[in-house]
Amino acid sequence: MEVRDSNGTVLNEGDNVTLIKDLKVKGTSETLKRGTMIKGIHLTDDPAEVECRHAKIKGLVLRTEFLKKA
């Protein structure tokens, strides 16, 4: 199973990614801004989603269509 970012680059376990769009996070009042660096992603069973952590948000799942490999 290959996981690809918005540009078609293959993502691997532990890669760093950057957001390409402002995203509102459900369940919180936080908004992740475009250009935010997310370090150390974890791949899931779904190739369209990755798990990650942000400073204030743990257990965050992001869609790969909003990510770009850093």
- Give me the residue spans of the domains in the chain: 13-67
Task: Compute φ and ψ for 65, nearest 5 degrees.
Answer: -70, -15
Give strand ranges (E) for 1-70. 3-4, 10-11, 17-19, 23-24, 31-32, 37-38, 42-43, 49-52, 60-63, 67-69
Query: Is 6 exposed, middle or buried, given 0-12, 13-18 or 19+ CB atoms closer than 10 A?
Result: middle
Q: What is the gyration radius of the CA atoms in the chain, in angstroms?
A: 11
pLDDT of residue 1: 83
pTM for the model stands at 0.87
pLDDT of residue 57: 86
- What dotted CATH number matches 13-67? 2.30.30.40
Rounded average pLDDT over 37-41: 94
